[in-house]
Amino acid sequence: MVTFLDISLIKGFSFIFPFLFVWSVVYGILESQKMFGERRELHAIIAFVTAMIVALTRPAVEIISTMTPWFIVLLMVFVLMIMFFKFFGIKDEEIASVFKSSEYSWVTVTLVIVSLILFAASAGQVFFGAAVPTGEQITATVHGGGTGVAGIGEEAFLKTFFHPKVLGLMFIFIIAALTIHLLAGGIPVGARK
């Protein structure tokens, strides 16, 4: 039954929101970093082409559509935390110094790690969740040699994420990142006085 509040027609325009999101983020980054000087039209064209490529790639649109609500929740928590600190009289300059100071670099690293986890979970949901229609099950050989049900969606993502090869790759990346940081002259956090 069709009602006045039926929003199923909006699904046909679902690619517009990721398009606008990608266009505005890419344009904002290009404008703030002045990568091509003061040429705003070039920044707009690059942002438009990037957004069109993303809009025409269905998995990219689905990843952005899955990831965006989680980032909005993260942003709301972050804004509420800042409001909480400001309620107790902490000034904007002190809050900004937390992100600029090398003493509190763990805050920035934590935000980057949470963002990467949200991206990985969204990509896993899109790629692993879309492979199997809802209600169907995949049978696979389980460790005991029998046949059981393999995970779909988030469960399949978690199985992939905690696979020994993936964990080994993450371990190697962490060691490489720490090595590069130390070779570049970074001071270990525990060694500061």
- Model pLDDT for residues 52-80, shown as the tens digit of each residue: 999 888 888 888 888 888 888 888 998 99
| Residue 160 domain flag | no
Question: What confidence tens digit (pLDDT) does each residue in 24-36 have?
Answer: 999 999 999 888 8
pLDDT of residue 23: 92
User: Pick from 134, 190, 124: which is nearest to 155 by CA?
Assistant: 124
Residue 98 tokens, joined: 């937390």
Please identify every stretch of the chain with a pLDDT value under 50, giving residue numbers as ranges: 130-150
Residue 185 amino acid letter: G
Say if residue 22 is exposed, middle or buried (CB neighbours under 10 Å; 0-12, 13-18, 19+): buried
Q: Which domain holds residue 22?
A: 1-56
Q: How many domains does the chain have?
A: 1
| Residue 31 domain flag | yes
| Residue 175 domain flag | no
| Residue 62 domain flag | no
| Residue 1 domain flag | yes
Residue 26 tokens, joined: 């890419």
| Residue 38 domain flag | yes
This prediction's pTM: 0.55
Helix (H) or strand (E) holding 63: helix 58-87
| Residue 35 domain flag | yes
